[in-house]
Chain A
Amino acid sequence: MREVAIVAAGMTRFGELWESSLRDLFVEAASDAMRNAGVDAVDDIYIGNMSGGQFVGQEHLAPLMADHLGLAGVGATRVESACASGGAALRLGYLSVASGMSDVVLVAGVEKMTDGADATQVLATAADQETEAYHGITFPGLYALIARAYMERYGATEEDLAWVAVKDHAHGALNPKAQFPRKITVEDVLSSTMVSDPLRLLNCSPVSDGAAAVILVPLEEASKYTDRPVRIRGVGQATGSMALADREDPTWLDAVAAAAERAYRMAGVGPEDIQVAEVHDCFSIAEVCCIEALGFVERGEGAAAAREGLTALGGRIPVNTSGGLKAKGHPVGASGVAQAIEIFHQLRGEAGERQVEGARIGLTQNMGGSGASAVVHIFERV
């Protein structure tokens, strides 16, 4: 296997982008990445997309995207793993380069969520249709079930969860690409509308449009494209039980823990070596459970991390410096790639006001459904 590096990135702003279609979003991000790499062709394309079919009626979107990028002819594949689609696409792009099959690969993620579909219903298709969605559960509902179980077990409070959103928005306020680049307070969160008890509106990531893209090449050729490549040092993917009821412990994301363990093993590092991380905070409780499964904190200690500043910029392990899915936005298929872009910028020292000084090793963790699929990548500045 060859070593693989990211040499360029491009992304749209995230938000309710009514002027842009699914294809416009992809073309903007992918062109941006290709321009930054100085390439006008690629060998292979992987596109993370959860549900073009349900959001805008468009399946078979890989050739459509390649065509509109002016690259009809190239091999292109759409990758679906619900909200982990972007991370799963990145892993396949990695494999394509690492295997020697391709020398320049475009990995993108795209989602157009605001073109009129019932987003709650579409997202619920990532749950088990026969045993979960049948009974009227929603995604906020699934994570609310996790949140209440967590609060019962560990004594965490709504205020603890509010701090996760407050921290993410403080970071997002520094990100010009974020959907909500502004600070919020604990009081704002606790007085926002209840969506699914105990989760309130400001505990939930938004419905967003957006696209993100990166260019992967063999590490040994990376200097042809940039003087600051970022090596992909570890990759891990895992699955867990689809239905929340089938997990041994609803508060423990076993797929995230397994994906992390694989990525750490491959990279030869541990959680204590990670200096900056983007984790899947689709709901405040998700970030809490993810940082536990990633080993950043002990089980049961995740809820205190944001409140105590551990995961804020300047803390021991800054998490979601981009603003996370919460403040940056969550165009579901794009999120996994956008996470990698934030770490790419951090490790190149170009994250501006969000910069984690001296960051050399970073991690991304992307997951689908209520945690049934998970992808973890570990990156290193070279």
Chain B
Amino acid sequence: MPSPRYWREVPGRYRLEAGRCEDCGKVSFPARTICPSCRGTNIASITLSRRATVVTSTVVRVPPDEFLMEAPYAVALLDTPEGARFMAQVVDCEPEEVVPGMEVELEFRLIRKEGDTGIRCYGHKGVPARTQP
């Protein structure tokens, strides 16, 4: 992808910056300019903690070509204590071990490479938390 498209997303992907609506409290990640819950525009920037819980999960065994070398890999919806929910891979364990209720820590990782000459795309992945509930 062209680099501007990539660096526009850096606040969320690198720094876990989310938006909290000052009117209704809804947290959006990545941050939005209009609150999807109340349409308020008074959005405060917050930083998500690096801990999350698996809401639901799957193991992708038939990936898009670009992720061919990664499969099988676990993808999950994660909830953070701030009330943000987002999608991420969960790694550093067998993908089948990623199940709802699992606690993960968020680590900065390589997400994808765009061929030999494209840019390397980073972001966050979940890894099993050292203490499970």
Contact = CB atoms under 8 A, between A and B. Distances in A.
Interface of A: 118, 120-121, 124, 130-138, 140-141, 144-149, 152, 193-199, 241, 243-246, 250
B121 to A, nearest CB: 7
Nearest to B57: A148
B39 interface: no
Specify which of B9, B64, B86, B88 lies most central, judged by the most chain A CB atoms within 10 Å of its CB: B64
A135 B60 CA distance: 11
B16 to A, nearest CB: 13
A148 B123 contact: no
B100 A121 contact: no
A244 B65 CA distance: 22
A243 B87 contact: yes
B89 A136 contact: yes
A254 to B, nearest CB: 12
Contacts of A246: 28, 36, 85
Given A152-B100, A246-B36, A135 B58 contact: no
Contact of A197 (B28, B58, B64, B88): B58
A124 B57 CA distance: 17
Contacts of B111: 134-136
Contact of A196 (B9, B58, B76, B100): B58
B66 interface: yes
A145 B77 contact: yes
Given A132-B87, A145-B56, A245-B85, 5 more contacts: A138-B64, A140-B60, A196-B58, A196-B62, A246-B36
A130 B56 contact: no
Contacts of A134: 111-112, 121, 123
Interface string B82-102: 000111110000001000100
Contacts of B64: 118, 120-121, 124, 133, 136, 138
Contact of B9 (A130, A152, A250): A130
B7 interface: no
Nearest to B89: A135
16 contacts: A118-B65, A121-B64, A132-B87, A134-B121, A136-B63, A137-B60, A137-B87, A138-B60, A146-B56, A148-B100, A152-B100, A194-B61, A196-B62, A198-B58, A250-B56, A250-B77
A121 B65 CA distance: 7
A245 B55 CA distance: 10
A131 B87 contact: yes
A145 B86 contact: no
B94 to A, nearest CB: 12
B9 A195 contact: no
Contacts of A140: 60, 62
Nearest to B77: A245
A121 B66 contact: yes
B75 A136 contact: yes
Given A132-B87, A136-B112, A245-B86, A145 B57 contact: yes
Nearest to B95: A197
